DNA sequence: ATCGAACTATAAAATTACCGTAAAATCTTG
DNA sequence: CAAGATTTTACGGTAATTTTATAGTTCGAT
């Protein structure tokens, strides 16, 4: 489904410019020439994003934004002719999501539109900031969710904690002790068998073959290493490139 | 909980400036003087937002961003000395969430930081009034009314408070502690049995089968999650819920 | 090469932790 | 006080964790 963008601007040539540019980018397009009509369209058509020009003939831009924010949280990008910091701050704190001063490049406008649509709250399974996203594997500690190849994965608490700890240290070798301390606490930092069982269960759920593990590698006598970042080229013998 | 901001910049005076300004705004502050150290801190401390200066000594800013985006979706605000549109577009499409050219006003920077933190996916869906309207379920805290499938529901005070708290965070996992703290207060934030009983009664009144709950899901050992698919109605053409 | 020590993976049993709910006891509120 | 709300107490069921046990692997010394 194409995202719909509502442009509220009183200058016909700007609207025309937007219509062409946004249309070419594959967005569905709506326009209004004043604030009243803009709010009406916002209410009736529920656009996915609003581009709001300040300095409309019928109403102050800040007031318009406030009216909109009474009932909607749709992302709003504000355009203005002036470049006053005071104004920017006021608008952004008043609920605008982004701000662009004229003259602006159309490429930048479109890039910012994309960002706002991309970061739309609650789009995919809503995720928190602590989320680890490896593409194929997404771990969201705030919601205690794991997605593997798009499918949600059900993990017990210890399983989740171990996977999260390993994934937080992706690429790095982590010792048995550090995992045990992090997940079970100081008192159990030598009970490596706890860890073995959880790792075994994790590999089962990740369909990771323990004889040739793709994700959770065993480092005999030391610990485990979680791998997922696509690190192709690095040949096996080359010296450690990182600062260690 | 104070949000934590990580500043990655090689110029000491900028870092100092940031430390003072952001600290004064009540943010928790972390800093790194190069990309390698920045990525390390991002991984180990999980900041809520990152301010990334381009033109770091050890690594290209775009590369740094890409490395970060391999596993994290923490919001990133990029700072740069140049004001080239090409670069802006590249960064924004590469996963940056906002972009600011030097020289910038500190007020604007802080406003943009606030916007990024405010618009995190999965924030409370409050829209002005306190009423939560999920279609099938309407919760009006002002009048202490609940309607379920059109029928009014009689809830005791604690029942109401718990339901309202869960519904305010719909879709998200809320811990036992947070509900207990919100409804019973700090002193009872470990008395999970209170909560179990209220949830049991709520499910009874919502005819929610606890073995396969539709609305209030249990996350063992952690808390609960309120789910309610929003009404799929709003047909594309005629339905006009707004003013006419 | 063979053996054994140290390590690993995992199945299965035993134990424990946690949940849901009923019912009794206590407290609130009108 | 009386009805209703809340807290306390208790118990059965289920799932997670820990314990126990077994089998396979690696590696070095004999």
String of DSSP letters for A108-143: HHHHHHHHHHHT-TTSSS---TT-EE-SSEEEETTT
- Within 184-223 of chain A, which residues have Cβ less than 7 Å from strand D? 184, 188, 191, 193-194, 197, 220
> Chain B window 179-238: which residues touch A at a Cβ cutoff of 8 Å?
219-222, 225, 234
Architecture of the domain spanning B132-226: Orthogonal Bundle (1.10)
Per-residue pLDDT tens digits for B207-232: 999 999 999 999 999 999 999 865 33
Q: Is A105 helix (H, G, I), strand (E, B) or coil?
A: coil
Question: Other C-beta atoms within 10 Å of A228: how many?
Answer: 19
Per-residue pLDDT tens digits for B157-175: 999 999 999 999 988 999 9
CB-based contact B2:B27 (threshold 8 Å): yes
**B72, B171, B243 ranked by CB distance to A126: nearest:** B171
Per-residue pLDDT tens digits for A119-148: 776 545 556 678 899 989 999 999 999 999
Residue B146, CA atoms < 13 Å, CB-side half-sphere: 17
Average pLDDT, chain B: 89
Of residues A76, A71, A120, A114, the one with CA closest to residue A94? A76
A134 touches chain B (CB under 8 A): yes
For residue B238, pLDDT beyond 90:
no
Which tokens belong to A159? Answer: 């399983």
Which nucleotide lies nearest residue A204, CA to C1'?
C10
A66 touches chain B (CB under 8 A): no
Pairwise CB contact (< 8 Å): B72 & A131: yes
Of residues B218, B212, B205, B126, the one with CA closest to residue B176? B218
Q: Hey, which residues does B50 pair with through a beta bridge?
A: B6, B76
For residue B110, pLDDT beyond 80:
yes
Pairwise CB contact (< 8 Å): A169 & B43: yes
Pairwise CB contact (< 8 Å): B122 & A126: yes
Give the per-residue pLDDT at A33: 94
Give the per-residue pLDDT at B132: 82
- Provide, in whole angstroms, the distance separating residue B195's CA from nucleotide C20's C1': 11
Which residues does chain A have with pLDDT short of 70? 121-128, 229-244
Fold: same for A4-118 and A132-226: no
For residue B239, pLDDT beyond 60:
no
Residues 6 or more apart in contact with residue A221 via CB below 8 angstroms: none
For residue B146, pLDDT beyond 60:
yes
DSSP states of A34-82: SHHHHHHHHHHH--SEEEEESS-SSS-HHHHHHHHHTT----EEEEES-
Per-residue pLDDT tens digits for B37-92: 999 999 999 999 999 999 899 999 999 999 999 999 999 999 998 888 999 999 99
Q: Is the CB of B191 under 7 A from strand D?
A: yes
Give the per-residue pLDDT at B233: 33
CB-based contact A44:B242 (threshold 8 Å): yes
Which nucleotide lies nearest residue A213, CA to C1'?
C9
Q: Where are the domains of chain B?
A: 4-118, 132-226
**A72, A119, A145 ranked by CB distance to B119: nearest:** A119
| Alpha carbons B71 and A169: distance in angstroms, whole number | 11
- Within 173-202 of chain A, which residues have Cβ less than 7 Å from strand C? 192-193, 196-197, 199-200
Domain A4-118, what fold?
A: Rossmann fold (3.40.50)
CB-based contact B188:B178 (threshold 8 Å): no
Strand-strand pairing, A49-53 and A76-80: parallel
Q: How many CB pairs under 8 A join A and B?
A: 130
At residue A31, what are phi and psi to the nearest 5 degrees?
A: -140, 155
Q: Is the CB of A144 under 7 A from strand C?
A: no
CB-based contact A97:A74 (threshold 8 Å): no
Peptide bond into B144 cis (omega under 30): no
Question: Other C-beta atoms within 10 Å of B191: how many?
Answer: 12
Give the per-residue pLDDT at A125: 52
**B105, B221, B243 ranked by CB distance to A157: nearest:** B221
């Amino acid at each position: 489904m194409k995202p719909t963008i509502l442009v509220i601007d009183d200058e016909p040539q700007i609207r025309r410019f937007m219509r062409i540019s946004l249309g070419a980018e594959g967005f569905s397009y709506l326009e209004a020439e004043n604030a009243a009509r803009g709010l009406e369209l916002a209410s009736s058509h529920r656009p996915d994003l609003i581009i709001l020009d300040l300095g409309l003939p019928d109403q102050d831009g800040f007031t318009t934004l406030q009216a909109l924010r009474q009932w909607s949280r749709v992302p709003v990008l504000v355009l203005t002719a002036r470049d006053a910091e005071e104004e920017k701050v006021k608008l952004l704190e008043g609920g605008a999501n982004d701000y662009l001063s004229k003259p602006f490049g159309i490429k930048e406008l479109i890039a910012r539109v994309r960002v706002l649509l991309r970061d739309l709250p609650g789009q995919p399974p809503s995720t928190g900031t602590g989320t680890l996203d490896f593409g194929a594997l997404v771990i969201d500690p705030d919601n205690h969710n794991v997605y593997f190849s798009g499918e949600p994965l059900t993990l017990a608490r210890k399983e989740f904690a171990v996977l999260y700890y390993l994934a937080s240290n992706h690429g790095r070798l982590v010792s048995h002790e550090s995992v045990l301390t992090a997940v079970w606490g100081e008192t159990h930092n030598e009970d490596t068998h706890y860890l073995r069982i959880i790792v075994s269960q994790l590999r089962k759920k990740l369909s990771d073959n323990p004889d040739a593990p793709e994700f959770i590698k065993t480092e005999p006598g030391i610990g485990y290493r979680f791998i997922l970042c696509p690190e192709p080229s690095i040949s096996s013998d080359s010296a450690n490139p990182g600062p260690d």
